[in-house]
Structure 1
């Protein structure tokens, strides 16, 4: 997989797929072309599951939606959930999604970041949802994902008062799990995580993601159902046998 789809560059990195938001002159503002490219990428990763690493070119992740396009949208566009459906599809990809965040990750850019399973950042990160200042709300995931990620009190301040977190504040809140000095270093760290995922059993990883995403009411039934399938898998037998053989040789 190696393609350029306008605002989104997609590269096969072996252990994972790297997607680069590539509108640096617009601070990677999310436009319809990018949404279309995300759907195309998700279709490929649904057919052939791979870990996805996503980051932005030019020192920012994504400064928000393209305001020129957003200004022209009307009620029917809102109900169509243009960004919502794309970001939900990213969140529901079978394998992990890892976001490397640098510079601005605001509005729709923040909501794309919230859709990732794992986020790493830099001290220069500025992440939040200032949508109400533009006369709209954060309707593409922030209103429900952010509460789960950082808790209701901080989510309320971000959503209702337009608070923008620094990289250090995002780390303290658990919104990102690591900070790295530069965007390049954050990307390298994200790709190192993807390489670590690639050493694990993909079926077990996919099952774990399904269980992790399940609502509380689904537990423990979904855990046991997924485990029952894995307990019968040849890969489980192979990996456990190799583990026991290595242990016996020590």
Structure 2
């Protein structure tokens, strides 16, 4: 019965990810969203007005782009970076940012060549300050609900991406900004970064998954304490609480968390991409059910990797004592 239940849970999980699973066995062409897509290897910094060192991916980046998407190449091919770029609004979540991030998520989720997504900020000192309250104040009451629903849907889709996702928190991540990071599989923060779900200060509650993901990350009692008090913690305390996996001392460039996230992404690259996707699915679905059902989900996910060419390549490489060359097939 547990096995049948496990396959039933797995089938339900596969439905919204059907395109992704098809892509796991058939290489698909690169999907590209309509916003700025950049191909460079390293972040560069330039001075920009009163906002200090402003992060740019290349000299082609435009100040009007709220999000810059970068498909890394060379040895980092397979890593995609989402760089939030709203310096004047402290990277607050606006209608346009939601639209652009939704397009970026839609593009990578059907691209079998994408191995890991890193979400970071192009603005030193800030990850994301949450909802754009200035824009929110101009909304009619009837517009607020639909906008929050779209933001919640975006963060849910980010959490549902089939490949690993890493949030690089080099500055403040508050409200919806922390909810975005919580939707990622792994969070890395600078020790100086500030994090908190502070919505109760505004007489509202976290509305993009914070009340659900924070307890799953750090436990129910601690999550209640942080939300009830609207408490903000730094990166070091966040590491102690289990809110982030790694806390690193900030560097002069202000991108220490990004660099650590990139190191993690590079650790994932040599592994079998289909296996990683199936492992993520098994973990995400299994953690929500009893152990017997979870084991059945694992069995169903394992069955997906058996017929792959990558599995045979792994065995052959082991026999020949050479690094495997996985293609995601």
What's the TM-score once normalised by structure 1's chain length?
0.93
**Unaligned runs of at least 5 residues, structure 1:** none
Q: What is the SS of the residue equivalent to 2:321? A: helix
**2:124 corresponds to 1:53:** no
Change (3 A) 1:135 1:73: farther
| Counterpart secondary structure, 2:70 | strand
Match of 1:112 in 2: 180
- Contact residue 170 and residue 258 of structure 2 kept, 8 A: no
* Partner residue in 1 for 2:281: 210
Aligned to 2:305: 230
SS at match of 1:54: strand
Aligned residue number for residue 173 of structure 1: 241
In structure 2, what is the equivalent of residue 74 of structure 1? 141
Residue 146 (structure 2) pairs with residue 83 (structure 1): no
Uncovered stretches (5+) of structure 2, i.e. residues with no partner:
1-31, 39-60, 323-329
The structure having more radius of gyration, on CA atoms, is 2
Q: In the TM superposition, what is the alpha-carbon distance from 1:220 to its structure 2 partner? A: 1.4
TM-score by length of 2: 0.71
Match of 1:140, SS state, is coil
Q: Which residue of 2 aligns with 1:153?
A: 221
TM-superposed CA distance for 1:74, in Å, is 2.6
Structure 2 residue 184 is matched with structure 1 residue 184:
no
Question: Any idea what SS the aligned residue of 1:216 has?
Answer: coil
Deviation larger for 57-66 or 214-223: 214-223
Higher helix share goes to which structure? 1
How far off its partner does 1:76 sit? 5.7
Shift of 1:77: 3.3
What is the deviation of 1:245?
3.0
**CA gap 1:193/1:130 in 2 versus in 1, 3 angstroms:** same
The match for 2:266 is 195
